[in-house]
Amino acid sequence: MRKDWTALKARVSNRLSRHLCVAPFRLRNKGPMVSFTFDDTPGSAAAVGAPILDTHNARATFYVAGGLVDKWSGHWDGISVDEIVKLHRQGHEIACHTFSHTRTTDFDAAARRNVEILSVAEALRAAGSSSHPEATVAH
Cβ neighbours, 10 Å, residue 83: 20
* pLDDT band (50, 70, 90) for residue 129: low
Read off the pLDDT of each residue in 59-71 and give the average, rounded to a whole number.
89
* pLDDT band (50, 70, 90) for residue 2: low
138, amino acid identity: A
pLDDT in tens, 11-48: 777 677 677 767 777 888 999 889 999 998 899 999 99
**CB 125, CB 85: distance < 8 Å:** no
Report the predicted TM-score, pTM, of the whole model to 2 decimal places: 0.68
| Domain boundary assignment for the chain | 33-131
Total residue count of the chain as it appears in this document: 139
Q: Does domain 33-131 have CATH number 1.10.10.350?
A: no
